[in-house]
Structure 1
Amino acid sequence: MVPLSIEFHSERDLYLAFMPFLKEGGLFVRTPRQYELGAEVELHVLLPDALEPSTVKGEVCWLTPIGAQNGTPPGVGVSFLDDPEKVRHQIEQIIARQLNSSEATLTM
């Protein structure tokens, strides 16, 4: 399982990366590194104002290559498979006010 780390400095950054349309939730991780769809990753997530990262096991379900349309940054979407620390719930609490926003995210 490949380790992958992401750190969020603001609620807005978290909102832009969150993928609530996935059954168990997920995050878009900006990275120039190439991954295969279905690759399993160990995602280390540092949420805004958190002191330590949380770990989620996930699977690559979205690819945005370098040079994608509209200047979207390269990266991968990771759907959560095993979320023992309830990271999805923590994210939803942090960005609750923004969940119904019409602002475009990094995925949809």
Structure 2
Amino acid sequence: MAKAGPEGQPNGSRWSASKKADVVVRLLRGESLDALSRELRVEAHRLQAWRDEFLAGGVEGLKARPLQPEDRRFRDAERKIGELTMDNEILRAAARKRGLQIPPRKRPR
């Protein structure tokens, strides 16, 4: 399958970490891997790799160069926040489907 860049960019263009993260969020929210692969013209295995890299290192994990070892703790915290955020999104969506009232999110001061 030919690789295409985001928003109609020509073949061979690179995906930014931000664009990859947008795709990963769509996957984590339940969109079909095969459907996204066809829509974006990106191989399914590449999308799976982006998802795995995102879960392991957040948006930083999707960047071309790896983090320095001293950034590991920060990366791990970002990863955990990302996982918890996605868990919350999934739970909120499931609750809404069942007609449950979701209290508004509290914002820290």
For the criterion TM > 0.5, the same-fold answer is no
- Higher-Rg structure is 2
Bigger strand share:
1
Q: Tell me which of the two structures has the higher relative contact order, counting C-alpha pairs closer than 8 angstroms and 6 or more residues apart.
A: 1
TM-score by length of 2: 0.29
TM-score by length of 1: 0.29
